[in-house]
A = this chain, B = another copy of it.
Amino acid sequence: MSKLRFRISMSLDGYVAGPEQSVDNPLGIGGEQLHEWVFPLAAWRAPHGLPGGEVNQSTRVVEESQAGIGATIMGRNMFGGHPGPWDRNNPWNGWWGDDPPFHHPVFVLTHHAREPLELEGGTTFSYVTEGIELALEKARAAAQGNDVALAGGAKVAQQYIRAGLVDEMEISLVPILLGGGERLFEDTGTDLHGLELVRSVAAPGVTHLKFTRR
């Protein structure tokens, strides 16, 4: 069966977003520092339609995390921090732009039903109101034998981790303190459901820790 794979950047103090997150500042105060290691990489720029970029020890980690993914699951805040129910007459299309970097079906966990949103470049956002298991089922079907990426944010990731549904997890540990915000491992219990550290990669500004079931 296709795997559910999760990669996220986390600070040394365990945060995946800084304090005072808002629609205007979705990463919270200082949260952009979590992602500074990835932006210069050619492997990140290419799927975002940008030329050039660096190659370093993070390259294969980013390439691995992108390879063989046929669908993505994300929480509603990651889709685009819309404050209330969807408005048919004035639809909010998230902050991914007209040509999002996914290029495959994306399933957004939300409490508010909505028709799918088809954008350029092969990305369609579908909205799932029936919880994490059905979202995974739908994503697996859409992935057509490929794996499913769990994009976050923290609360959705916590639900999948707790339920033991994550098959691979890459923690990109960034050596900074955010001092507050959203912690990934909060109320996630003590059970990694068989996930074991299988390799670590030291790269500029980040250490990548890969967990899989042996």
Contact = CB atoms under 8 A, between A and B. Distances in A.
Given A13-B14, A30-B190, A197 B175 contact: yes
Interface string A168-205: 00010101111100010110111110001101101001
A12 interface: yes
A179 B175 contact: no
Interface of A: 12-14, 30, 171, 173, 175-179, 183, 185-186, 188-192, 196-197, 199-200, 202, 205, 207, 209, 211
Nearest to A191: B177
Contacts of A178: 190
A171 B183 CA distance: 18
Contacts of A185: 12-14, 177
Contacts of A211: 175
Nearest to A179: B190
Nearest to A204: B197
A186 B14 CA distance: 10
A188 B197 CA distance: 27
A170 to B, nearest CB: 12
Contacts of A179: 188-190
Contacts of A173: 173, 209
Given A177-B185, A188-B177, A188-B179, A200 B197 contact: no
A7 B183 CA distance: 23
Contacts of A183: 13-14
Contacts of A209: 12, 173, 175, 207
B207 A200 contact: yes
B190 A197 contact: no
